[in-house]
Amino acid sequence: MSLITGTTKLLGVIGDPVKHSLSPLMHNRAIEELGLDYIYLPLPVTQGNLAKAIAGFEAISLVGFNITIPHKQAIIPYLAEVTPTVHMVGAVNTVWRTETGWKGTNTDVAGFIAPLQTLNQDWSKIAPVILGNGGAARAVVIGLVELGCPQIHVVGRNQNKLDKFSQSWQSNFQISSILQTHLWEKLNTLIPDTKLLVNTTPVGMSPQIENSPVDASLMAKLSPGAIAYDLIYTPNPTKFLQLAKEQGAIAIDGLEMLVQQGAAALKIWLNQPVPIETMRESLRVYLNL
């Protein structure tokens, strides 16, 4: 790593916890390859300390930062401007300094669709099924709308939360007119008909690696050649993707989304192209993939 001096510009990720974040690794490797005088730091900020942290970032002229749980929504009032993507997703994962104050966007949408865009598919004929209705599911919905999917099914385990999820899109006709929510039991009939099944739940994440949000008998209904996309990147592959591959599905894990959302953020901060392959490789080596 290059020498840190008084001129080194600061980037980082705020959240609680941030100690397991892979972002410092991939960003610092990219910065090193570009030979730039920047450093990206994990910055633990607890829930009650967000205002103080933002004031501190102002004071030390931080160039920009990523935001993770629990600040993705809470950060919004501190920003002078947000992109239209933030208005739709309702959460920010990337912030940078402008002349008028901090500006925020959400690069998870671009990160999510990047691996799908490498596939040769007619998205206007695909009605995806999304498992889960949390924060990541919102970015997934926007991404699938951007791809041109004509109908989107969101499946959850709690009717109240599903209703709130539906209501949150009501002011957006383009989305509300194509979005349908269902309880988990409906998967029996949704899975055989879909060509894209996306897991946005944390089920199957380390250390619960034997769990899958869709069990073997349900996964057996997935049509061969369908795409199974798990946002989880460790373990790799997840049980969900193992079961899908046994059905002849195309499997996409969450690593590429992680890399691509990070690359999109770094590009904003540095205002130049970034070495995506280096970022990807740094994570692959670290995760033993």
Catalytically active residues are 72
- CA-based nearest residue to 192, from 119, 249, 251: 249
| Distance in angstroms (rounded) separating the CA atoms of residues 52 and 81 | 19
**Cβ distance 203 to 213 under 8 Å?**
yes
For ligand NAP, what does the binding mask look like between residues 235 and 264, x meaning CB under 6 A? -------------------x--xx--x---
**CA gap 186, 110 in Å, rounded:** 29
Q: Collapsing DSSP states into helix, strand and coil, what is residue 230? A: strand
Instruction: Please report, as residue ranges, which positions from 15 to 34 form the binding site for ligand NAP (by CB under 6 A).
Output: none
Binding mask 162-201 toward ligand NAP (x if CB under 6 A, else -) reads --------------------------------------xx
Among 111, 115, 128, 235, binds ligand NAP (CB under 6 A): 111
Given the rule CB under 6 A, which of 40-48, 217-225, 230-238, 278-286 is the region that contacts ligand NAP?
A: 230-238
Q: Rule CB under 6 A: say whether 202 interacts with ligand NAP.
A: yes
CA 85, 88, 94, 96 dihedral sign is positive
Residue pair 254/232 in contact (Cβ under 8 Å)? The answer is: yes
Q: How far is the CB of 257 from ligand NAP (least distance, A)?
A: 4
**Distance (Å, rounded) from C-alpha 10 to C-alpha 188?**
50
- Select the residue interacting with ligand NAP from 23, 133, 181, 212 (CB under 6 A): 133
Min dist CB 143 to ligand NAP, Å, is: 11
Which one, 101 or 115, has the nearer CB to ligand NAP?
A: 115
